[in-house]
Amino acid sequence: MRVVVTGGAGFLGSHLCERLIKRGDEVVCLDNFLTGSAANVAHLQGRAGFRLVRTDVTDYLHVVGPVDVVLHFASPASPVDYLQLPIETLKVGSIGTLHALGLAKEKAARLVLASTSEVYGDPEVHPQPETYWGHVNPVGRRGVYDEAKRFAEALTLAYRNTHGVDTGIVRIFNTFGPRMRPDDGRAIPNFIRQALAGEPVTVAGDGKQTRSICYVDDLITGILAMADSDHPGPVNIGNPHEIAMLDLARWIIELTGSESEIVHIERPVDDPTIRQPDTTLAREVLGWEPLVPVEEGLHRTIAWFRAQEQEHAFSVPPLDPQATEHILRGE
């Protein structure tokens, strides 16, 4: 197949591009590098069937030739990013989604929208099934991301119902793995970076709030199962393994062999208290469930962060110890 991946140089997008190339598909990777990085797909450059194009899907989206699938993954996704880029986040969820759907309509392609568990907000139903309408603060600071994705879902269904576009929606729960930015603000890269540097590991609030964390390889398998299906969704894709943030911080300190202490910081406004997907639908319609144990995924992710730390340290001139220290600390 010929697949267009918007946001293809981001964390999830780059893993999608890699898996698609490995299975023999042709990939057009689109990214404006606002939060993604060409380094994430550098290993794919020169591979047969891979093309990287720098473009902003909120400005214009045109792809020459046939397209079988559009995977719309362009968007800031971490709180640090979308709080710093609120307008860009809303634009890519609205205008960017409009352009991606227009491309799918033009090419008679299937489009899969990367939505999010954030559409459930701070849920009052636990675990969260796809039938739950959510509990979102539309005018809170986090609302720029939540509402962008909720609008994107509504627009996707409108194109399906009005124009007959073959669409699918996946609601992605917390995911982790290699290629996460150390400074992207999410818990796992933060905890790993701090633990490896011997810094205090910062836990928001009392740390009793929970997340369900899924290793990236499993998530990509679920997304491609959705792309290969004809199901409209939405379908939850995530690991039901729920864990409190304080316990996760302790676990990462143990796995890294760090002597870091845990320090509690102020909890962000509207930070969800609980988060756990009901994955019954994914099992029934996609035959999908996560297979990688969380601990194994954490080991792989920590190993990747260690390798990046060493690589960056070696790339710094030896007479600049201050710069070396900043790189090792992820600053």
Residues 309, 220: Cα–Cα separation, whole Å: 25
Query: What confidence score (pLDDT) does residue 312 get?
Result: 67
pLDDT in tens, 184-194: 889 999 999 99
pLDDT in tens, 201-245: 999 999 999 999 999 999 999 999 999 999 999 999 999 999 999
pLDDT at 320 over 60: no
Q: Which of 120, 145, 159, 215 is catalytic?
A: 145
pLDDT in tens, 140-172: 989 999 999 999 999 999 999 999 999 999 999
Q: What angle do CA 281, 282, 287 make, to 5 degrees?
A: 120
User: What's the DSSP call for residue 164?
Assistant: -
pLDDT in tens, 18-51: 999 999 999 999 999 999 999 999 999 999 999 9
Residues 67, 325: Cα–Cα separation, whole Å: 46
DSSP lists the bridge partners of residue 205 as: none
Does domain 2-179+214-241+273-292 sit in CATH 3.30.1360.120? no
User: What's the DSSP call for residue 116?
Assistant: E
- Give the residue-averaged pLDDT of 109-124: 96
Helix (H/G/I), strand (E/B), else coil: 136: coil
pLDDT at 271 over 80: yes
Share of the chain above pLDDT 90, in %: 89
Establish whether 145 is a catalytic residue.
yes
Per-residue tokens: 318: 């030896």
Q: Which residue has the tokens 């920590």?
A: 302
The most distant pair of C-alpha atoms in the chain lies apart, rounded to whole Å, by 63
Residues 84, 180: Cα–Cα separation, whole Å: 18
**Omega within 30 of 0 (cis) for the link into 234:** yes
Residues 223, 110: Cα–Cα separation, whole Å: 13
Spatial CA neighbour of 10 closest among 68, 74, 63, 60: 74
The sign of the dihedral angle between the CA atoms of 196, 200, 202, 203 is positive
Query: What confidence score (pLDDT) does residue 315 get?
Result: 39
The sign of the dihedral angle between the CA atoms of 89, 131, 279, 68 is negative
Residue extents of the structural domains in the chain? 2-179+214-241+273-292
Share of the chain above pLDDT 70, in %: 94
Residue 233, CA distances (Å) to 150, 154, 191, 219, 314 in order: 13, 12, 33, 16, 46
pLDDT at 328 over 50: no
